[in-house]
């Protein structure tokens, strides 16, 4: 039996699909109030009979902040995939994010040690590799440095990873994946995939930064391959391509037949934009769309290398153009009221 935390999220739902498709016995954690509709939707993207695969998953109500419920959920399990995390760049989410990402991961690690779990796969992030401005290319060896470029999300993921390495020192077999910006179909209003929804209407502005992108299906495949291998005590950067934001936006625009972004937003304008947005959000009693962290990150340029996993497993990433095309097609099917059931 395999246990998956964060099964209702973007990575978790795709991982559940891949595990069920491969015939694994899977138990997935969810909160009592969690909506399984998203998981059903993700399964329906890849199969015309999602129910038959969904029925293979045993759902249990548990919370990673509750150590006792974690140990109970791990009864009879050999392997654990830890996908649960809070991702936010909004200041008033910081406390919860640090709690869930760091203490929640500590609870998962402790429960794995207590229940003699054979192997843990932890979903980290490129954010936890630190923003070392002297490194031309970021690799698994790029060491964390305290820097104003580190977001609170990065700090929380770095803290989470430290808990995993502590577990490794205490005898737990672990593999860690550090994906770049994950793209894939799912909840179009959340996280990095909200960009697809925005781009479908057309983006006028772009920033001069650059980052890495990876398909969620590649993340899931890499995790399963690492867990099935003898590899242990290592982290692996998952990145299909490094692209300037403008290039990525234009890739989306081509699929949605929208004009390319033409107006460049430099650091000074970005600084102005997040301050205006903070005020507008406060007046409208809503969460800001742009924050100080996202505005600044949009003008940073990073290059990430995934040579390590390519060499270790002969792993091949999906070309990002193919991923973007397929995700845009699924978005358009979901957005169109006339198309019953979006299937691949």
Q: Is residue 104 part of a domain?
A: yes
Domain containing 58 equals 2-183+213-241+303-319
Mean pLDDT of the chain: 86
Distance CA 222, CA 182 (A): 13
pTM: 0.89
User: First and final CA of the chain: distance in angstroms?
Assistant: 29
In this prediction, residue 265 carries a pLDDT of 67
For every residue of 22-87, DSSP letters joined together read: TT--EEEEE-TT--THHHHHHHHHH-S-HHHHHTTEEEEE--TT-HHHHHHHTTT-SEEEE-----
Mean pLDDT check: name the lowest of 46-55, 85-94, 140-149, 261-270: 261-270
Cα–Cα distances (Å) from 184 to 49, 120, 239, 244, 257, in that order, read 20, 24, 14, 19, 20
CB neighbours of residue 115 within 10 Å: 18
In this prediction, residue 263 carries a pLDDT of 73
Residue range 161-191, pLDDT digits in tens: 999 999 999 999 999 999 998 999 998 888 7
Residue range 279-314, pLDDT digits in tens: 766 777 666 656 665 666 666 778 999 999 999 999
Q: Is residue 298 part of a domain?
A: no
Report whether 81 contacts 15 (CB < 8 A): yes
Sign of CA dihedral 310, 102, 181, 54: positive
In this prediction, residue 86 has a pLDDT band, given cuts at 50, 70 and 90, of confident
In this prediction, residue 269 carries a pLDDT of 62
Mean pLDDT of 214-233: 97
The highest-confidence range among 81-90, 246-255, 296-305, by mean pLDDT, is 246-255
Q: How many domains does the chain contain in total?
A: 1
Q: Is residue 54 part of a domain?
A: yes
- Which one is predicted more confidently, 144 or 168? 168
In this prediction, residue 133 has a pLDDT band, given cuts at 50, 70 and 90, of low
Q: Is residue 208 part of a domain?
A: no
The highest-confidence range among 17-26, 194-203, 240-249, 273-282, by mean pLDDT, is 17-26
Distance CA 286, CA 334 (A): 26
Distance CA 163, CA 144 (A): 15
Whether the pLDDT of residue 342 is over 60: the answer is: no
User: Nearest 5 degrees, angle CA 6-CA 132-CA 193?
Assistant: 35
Q: Is residue 294 part of a domain?
A: no
In this prediction, residue 136 carries a pLDDT of 80
Show the tokens assigned to 335.
């957005």
Report whether 86 contacts 97 (CB < 8 A): yes
Q: Is residue 39 part of a domain?
A: yes
Helix (H) and strand (E) counts in the chain:
14, 12
- Residue that the structure tokens 């290398």 belong to: 305
CATH of the domain at 68: 3.40.50.720
Report whether 146 contacts 315 (CB < 8 A): no
Q: Is residue 275 part of a domain?
A: no
Q: Is residue 124 part of a domain?
A: yes
């Amino acid at each position: 039996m395999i246990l998956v935390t964060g099964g209702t999220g973007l990575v978790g739902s795709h991982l559940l699909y891949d595990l069920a498709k491969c015939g694994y016995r899977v138990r997935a954690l969810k909160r009592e109030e969690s909506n399984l509709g998203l998981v059903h939707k993700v399964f329906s993207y890849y199969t015309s009979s999602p129910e038959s695969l969904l029925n293979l998953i045993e759902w249990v109500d548990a919370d990673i902040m509750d150590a006792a419920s974690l140990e109970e959920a791990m009864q009879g399990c050999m392997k654990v995939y830890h996908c649960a995390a809070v991702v936010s760049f909004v200041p008033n989410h910081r406390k919860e994010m640090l709690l869930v990402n760091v203490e929640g991961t500590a609870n998962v690690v402790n429960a794995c040690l207590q229940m003699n779990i054979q192997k843990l796969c932890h979903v980290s992030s490129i954010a936890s590799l630190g923003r070392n401005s002297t490194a031309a290319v970021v690799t698994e060896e790029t060491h964390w440095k305290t820097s104003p470029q580190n977001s609170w999300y990065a700090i929380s993921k770095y803290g989470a990873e430290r808990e995993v390495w502590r577990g490794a020192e205490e005898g737990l077999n672990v593999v860690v994946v550090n994906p770049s910006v994950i793209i894939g179909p799912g909840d179009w209003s959340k996280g990095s995939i909200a960009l697809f929804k925005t781009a479908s209407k057309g983006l006028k502005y772009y920033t001069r930064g650059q980052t890495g992108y990876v398909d969620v299906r590649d993340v899931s495949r890499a995790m399963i391959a690492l867990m099935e291998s003898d590899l242990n005590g290592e982290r692996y950067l998952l990145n299909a391509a490094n692209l300037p934001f403008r290039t990525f936006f234009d890739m989306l625009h081509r699929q949605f037949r929208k004009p390319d972004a033409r107006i460049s937003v430099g650091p000074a304008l970005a600084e102005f934009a997040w301050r205006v947005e903070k005020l507008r959000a406060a007046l409208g009693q809503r969460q800001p769309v742009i924050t100080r962290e996202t505005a600044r990150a949009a003008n940073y340029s990073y290059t990430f290398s995934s040579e390590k996993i390519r060499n270790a497993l002969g792993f091949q990433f999906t070309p990002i153009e193919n991923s973007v095309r397929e995700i845009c097609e699924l978005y358009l099917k979901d957005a169109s009221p006339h198309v019953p059931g979006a299937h691949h």
